[in-house]
Amino acid sequence: MEFKTINVNGLDTFYREDGDPTKPTFLLLHGFPTASHLFRNLMPMLAQSFHVLAPDFIGFGQSAAPLHTDFDYTFDNLTNYVDGFLSALNVKQFYLYVFDYGAPIGFELAARHPERILGIVSQNGNIYQEGLGAKWADRQTYWQHPTAELRQQYQTAFKAATIKGQYLGGEQPGSVSPDGYTLDIHYTELPDYAERQSDLIFDYQNNVKNYPRFQQYLRDNQPELIAAWGKNDPSFVYQGAQAFLKDDANAEVHLLDGGHFVLESHWQTIGQLILDKWTVSN
């Protein structure tokens, strides 16, 4: 595996790369509050059969993180930078793995460029109202009536205990390494972190508005899709995985005994699902 940085639209994007560049590309898109280190275990497994790329979004991980007053922290803009990243590396087609925030970014890419998508893995990457857990009702109230007090209140999402709970919730004791959440907690301590992430929490309302568009992409294109879901996730509940079946005849659903970060405990299972489905054609 190699660790690289490339300039995209004037900002440095950090990424991890593994596998043979002559093989089909697999693009791995992380979520909140993590970065490309989420895929540290999965990447070597996929590299047997794919060229694997995992970028850090702008404002996350090791990528550039301009102040929220100087950069438009919206999901549409983050998508622009991932799109630019692919262009900079001359990636024409790719398989897509999306998790959490990576889902609206990845499905926006797919809606913009359906001809580029070879297949999709959605791991707790929601694009359905049915998949929104109970906390999202409160978020919708905030979106409709934003106040400085509520913006401050939602910064509890960046607390160390909250992040650790996201990783360990719904998992068997001892099944999740502390490596991932320890690094994520470190990133929350960097300058302006809470402000740029607060901008994204507020902008998430536009992802929900785009859900019908993403679903139309599925109906129109019928991509091969694996929904590999931590069934104990309280944030994006497992009904969001099952909902793929109503729009995509080529979708398959695997409910795994884990939580939001099920890749931490089930990376081998998810990796094998991917290899079993797509390596024959490679």
Q: How far apart are CA 114 and CA 108, in angstroms?
A: 10
Q: What is the DSSP letter of 56?
A: P
Q: Tell me, what amino acid is at 140?
A: Q
Q: What is the DSSP letter of 24?
A: P
User: Tokens 């902008």 label which residue?
Assistant: 203
Instruction: Report which of 174, 185, 170, 179 is spatially closest to residue 237, judged by C-alpha positions.
Output: 170
**From the candidates 30, 37, 51, 260, which is the catalytic residue?**
260
- Residue 175, class by beta-carbon neighbours within 10 Å (0-12 exposed, 13-18 middle, 19+ buried)? middle
The first and second tokens of residue 29, run together, are 């898109």
- Residue 230, class by beta-carbon neighbours within 10 Å (0-12 exposed, 13-18 middle, 19+ buried)? buried
The first and second tokens of residue 220, run together, are 């129109």
* Residue 266 appears among annotated catalytic residues: no
The first and second tokens of residue 86, run together, are 């692919």
Helix axes 102-112, 75-88, angle to 10 degrees: 60
Instruction: Report which of 155, 184, 190, 153 is spatially closest to residue 167, judged by C-alpha positions.
Output: 184
Q: Indicate which residues carry an active-site annotation.
A: 260
